[in-house]
Chain A
Amino acid sequence: MNVVVCVKQIPDPADPGALDPNTKTLKRDGKLILDESDSYGVEMALQLVDAAGGGEVTLVSMAPNGETAGLRTALAMGAAKAVLVSDDALQGSDALGTSKVLAKAIERAGQADLILTATESSDGYTGTVPEQIAELLSLPSVTFAKSITVDGSSVKVQRQTESGYDDVECPLPAVVSVTAGVVEPRYPSFKGIMAAKSKPVDQVGLGDLGVDAGSVGWAGAGQEIVEIATAEARAASTVVEDDGEAFQKIVDMLAELKIV
C-alpha cells in the first residue's frame, strides 16, 4: 500500500516568530522544521504501510527556497521519498492556492492508495486544505481521524467528535486528516538519519506541475491581508469567590468554554 502524506515545514515554534511588515505574513527566512502536527500523519502512514506488509510512504510539501530540513526529519523517520514544490510565485498563497499545488504534487508522487494530512498546520491554522485537496482530486474526504484501519479497498476511520467518535468507512483512495496525538511519532534513528541522505527529493516548480502561476500565490489568492496588529494583552482573570457554590460556577464556566 502506498500512502502520500502532506507535510508542512514551518518556523520553529520555540523561536520567537515575526511578521514581515511588507507582506504581512510570517517570516520564513530562517531554518524550518517539520510541523509537529504532521509528524502524526507520517507515523500513522508508516504504521499502515507496515501493517499492510508492503508499499511506501511518500511526502508532499510546499516550501520556499527549496527548504528540506523538515522533510529530512520525516524521511529519517522512514518515509521513502518526497516531492517538494518550491517556486517564488507561491508566495502569498492562500489555502485554496496551496491545495491546488499540493493536489498536483500528489498526482506527481505516483499512485496513492491513501492520502494523509494533519487537521491543520501549526502556523497557518486555516484547517481547510485537506478537504480542498480531496475535492480537487475528486476523492472522498474524512476528517479528524483518531484511528485508521485499511481493509482491502476501503478504509475504516474513527472520526473524533465533540462527544465521542463516529465510525466512518469509505472506499480507497481517500484523503484522511489525522488528529494530533493519536499515535506517538517515532524519533529518527541514527541509521534512519544516515539513510535519509540518499532518499530522493523531487524538487519541482509550478511549471513542472502544470499549475498556472496566476492561479496561486498573491496573484491567485482570494484573500488580502489588510492589516496586522499586535494582539491585545491578555485580559484580567476572573476571580470566583467561594460562597459554597463556587464549584458550580467553575463547572458552568468550563462548560461554556466547551472544555467539559
Chain B
Amino acid sequence: MTDYRSPVKDALFTLRHVGMLDEISSSERYAHADPETVADVLGEHGRFMQEVFAPTNRIGDTVGLKWSPEGVETPAEFKTAYAKFVEAGWQGLNAEAEYGGAGFPEAVFTCALEFMTAANGALTMCPGLTTGAIECLQAWGSEEQKERYLRRIVTGEWTGTMNLTEPQAGSDVGLCTTKAEPQGDGTYKITGTKIYISFGEHDMAENIVHLVLARTPGAPAGTKGISLFIVPKFLLTEDGEPGERNDVNCVSIEHKMGIHGSPTCVMSYGDDGGATGFLVGEENQGLRAMFTMMNSARIAVGIQGVALGDAAFQKALQYSQERRQGREVGGDSKEPAFIEAHPDVRRMLMFMKSHVEAMRALLVYNSAAIDLSRALEGDDAEHWREIAELLTPVSKAWSTDVGMEVTSTAIQVFGGMGYVEETGVAQHYRDARIAPIYEGTNGIQAMDLVGRKLGMRMGGVVGEYLQRMRDLDGELAAAGEEFASIRTELAAAVDTLEGVTNWIMTNGLANPVEALAGATPYLRIFGTVTGGWLLARLALGAKADLEGADQADVAWLNTKIASARFFAEQVLPTAAGLVPSVQAGSSVLYEVTPESLASV
C-alpha cells in the first residue's frame, strides 16, 4: 500500500484558480506570500507531513494512548514527530508576525492543514487546537499575556487547548457552571470539570496553556455571564519558565470510535483548592472571545472532511489498480481485470475525486475570503467578510458530511478488505466520523446558515452570492462544447438553490420552525451547488492552463475538466431532488411523538 502523498500540485492549482492567491499576495499585508514562495513553503510542508507525520498515523490508531494519574502518554513516535514539527517552525505559519508567526494567508494555511490532517488527523488535533488558542490570544490577550504565553505557543514549544464543554453544557455553552473566584491579586481560582478536551494532557510539550470558560460570582445567567481564563498546566516563574504545577488534572480519557491518537480528556480544575487562572479580556466577554476562533475552527473541521477523504481516496485508487477481479466487460483478455476497469468502480473513483476537489475548493475559497477581508479595506473588506460568514457553516457541515461519504466509498472500493483493519482505510472512516459532530454539530451549522446567515443584510448577501455563481455563465458559454453540460447543469442548480432560498426566507420569517425543519437538506443543496460552481471555475482554469502546458501536465489538466463534468452531470442534479424535503415543513415531524416512534 502506498503511503499518503500531500497533493501539493492540486493545492497550488486550487489556490491560483479559486483561492485568489494573486490578489491576496498583491496586498500589502500578504506581500511576502507571493505564489513562488507559497509553492516552496507548501512543497516542503507537504513533504514533511508525508514523511514525518504520515508514518505515525497507524501507530496512533493501534497503540493509542496510556492514561495514568501522572498524565497521558502518547506513542514515542508522536513525541519525535511533534518535536520535528516544532523544530521546523510550522506552528506559526498563519500566526501574526509580531509574536513570532509567519503571517501567511489563511488560504495557504488551509492547504497546509489539509496535508497535516490527512497525514495524521489525530496528532494534528494538537497543533490544530493550538492554532485556535493562538487566534484567541492574538485578539484578546493583554500585552503581558502575549509576551509570556503567546510567543511560546506560536513556536509550538507549548500547546494550547480550548475548554468549553461541561457534562451538562455541550452545544449550549451558556449552561457552563465552572467557577472563577477573584483572589484580589488579579488572579482567579478556577473550579469545575470540563469534558472532551482534546490534548488537554499529553507529554509532547513542556507546558500546556488551557483556555477555560468559567463564571465569576454574580455573573448573568446564560452566555452573557461567561468569562475566559488562561490556566497553564505549570504556572510561570518570574522569568517566564514553567514552574509550580497548577491545580488542573486530567482525570480520564475517552475510549472513542476514532482519532485514537488524540487524547480526549476530562479535565478537573481545583480538586486541591483551586487552579490559578488569569482573565483574558474582560469579565463576561468570554463568548465573544470564543467567537474569534469559531470561524477558523469550523473551517479547520471542514478540512478534516477533505483531508481524510483524500487520504482514503488515495488508498482506494491504488488498490483499484492492484486488485484483480472479474473480466473487463467488453474486453478481450481472459485474465481477471484490475477492478478500476469496472464501470461502477470508475464511478466511485470519480465520485471521490470530484468531491475531494470540490471540498478543497470550498475551503480554500472560504479561507481566501477571510484573507481578503483582512487585506482589503472599506466595502471590499466588508464584502469578503460577509462571504466568509455565509460560507463557514457550509464549509464545516457539507465537507464533513461528504467526507464521511468519501471515506465510506473508499472502503467500498476495497470490498471485504476495506472492512478489515489492516488495510488502514477503515481508520479514515472512523476518524472522520467525529467531524460532523464537534465544533458545532452539522445540525447547528444548518440552523446557523438558515437562521443567521441567510438573513444577513435582509438576504442581500446570499443574493449577491447567487448572482456571482450566475456570472460564470458567460465564460462557460465561451469555453465551447466540452463545457456545455457543466454550463447547463450549473445554471439549473443555481435556479434550484435560488428558488429554495426564497422559500426558506419567506416561510422562515413567518414560522422559523418550518425553515429549520428543512435546514439540513437546504445546506446540502447549498454545498452541492457551491461545489459545482467552484469545480467549473477550476475546469476553466485547467482549460486556460492547457495552452502551452508541458506534455506531462496535459492529462492532469484534462482530468480536472473531467472531474468537473462528472460532478455537473451526476451530482448537481441531486440538488433538485432535495427541494421537496426542504419545503415539506415541520408538520410531519410533529404528527408523531417520541413514544409513538418506538415500535414496541
Contacts and interface: CB of A to CB of B under 8 A. Distances in A.
Contacts of B48: 187
Interface string B82-124: 0010011110110000000010000000000000000000000
A239 interface: no
Interface string B22-62: 00000000001000010011011001100110000000000
B156 to A, nearest CB: 11
Contacts, number: 44
Nearest to A34: B47
Contact of A190 (B43, B47, B92, B551): B92
A163 B87 CA distance: 37
B329 interface: no
B185 interface: no
Contacts of A30: 550, 552
A39 B87 CA distance: 18
A186 B48 CA distance: 10
Interface band, chain A: 10 to 19
B5 interface: yes
B40 A191 contact: no
A139 interface: no
B95 to A, nearest CB: 11
A29 interface: yes
A29 B44 CA distance: 21
A189 B550 contact: no
Nearest to B88: A189
Interface string A189-208: 11101101100000000000
A190 B88 contact: yes
A159 interface: no
A14 interface: yes
Interface of B: 5, 32, 37, 40-41, 43-44, 47-48, 51-52, 84, 87-90, 92-93, 102, 550-552
Interface in A11-50: 14, 27, 29-30
Given A72-B40, A193-B44, A197-B37, A187 B52 contact: yes
16 contacts: A30-B550, A76-B40, A76-B44, A186-B87, A187-B47, A187-B48, A187-B52, A188-B44, A189-B88, A190-B41, A191-B89, A193-B44, A194-B32, A194-B41, A194-B102, A197-B37
Given A14-B5, A188-B44, A196-B40, A29 B89 contact: no
Contacts of A189: 87-89
Given A29-B551, A186-B87, A188-B88, 11 more contacts: A69-B43, A73-B44, A76-B44, A187-B52, A187-B87, A189-B87, A190-B41, A190-B89, A190-B92, A193-B40, A197-B37
Nearest to A186: B87
A129 to B, nearest CB: 26
A193 B41 CA distance: 7
Contacts of B5: 14
Given A14-B5, A196-B40, A190 B550 contact: no
Interface string A162-192: 0000000000000000000000001111110
Contact of A187 (B84, B92, B93, B102): B84
